[in-house]
Amino acid sequence: MNNVSIRKVLMSVSIATVAFVMAGSSVFAFECYNANRSDQGNASAAGSPALISLEDALIMFCGVDPDDIGGIVEELEDEGFETDFLINGHALMAGGLEKNGKGEGKLHDGQGIDHLSDEFFEALVDIVPSCA
């Protein structure tokens, strides 16, 4: 291979790696979900390309085997966490509340738009270390 070909290969690999890392970190980075949506509402919204279930996120971004999902969800629920939510992976919802510093309580009150808590992520990483 000549120098131009090697550079093209290295550039392609670099771009692919950055895209993969950014995609993998983006879903849980947004961590926003609609806490008021009913189970039926979640079921109806599940087809949206912008919304990602916990189960899908575990498979796509943590490398969890689909056969192991049920046990992970059960462990999170046993620890008191809600698991029937859809994360908005395309937008930061309620970003204004987060930016102005006045909405921290509203982002974790179980009403409207909420963010997954630090405690949720700590429990998740304990159960599924590949999510770290």
Give the whole-angstrom CA distance, residue 109 versus residue 115. Answer: 9
Q: Kindly give the interhelix angle for 118-127 and 69-78, rounded to the nearest 10 degrees.
A: 130
pLDDT, mean over the chain: 73
Asked whether residue 112 carries a pLDDT value surpassing 90, the answer given is no
Q: Global pTM?
A: 0.65
Confidence band, pLDDT 50/70/90 cuts, at residue 46: confident
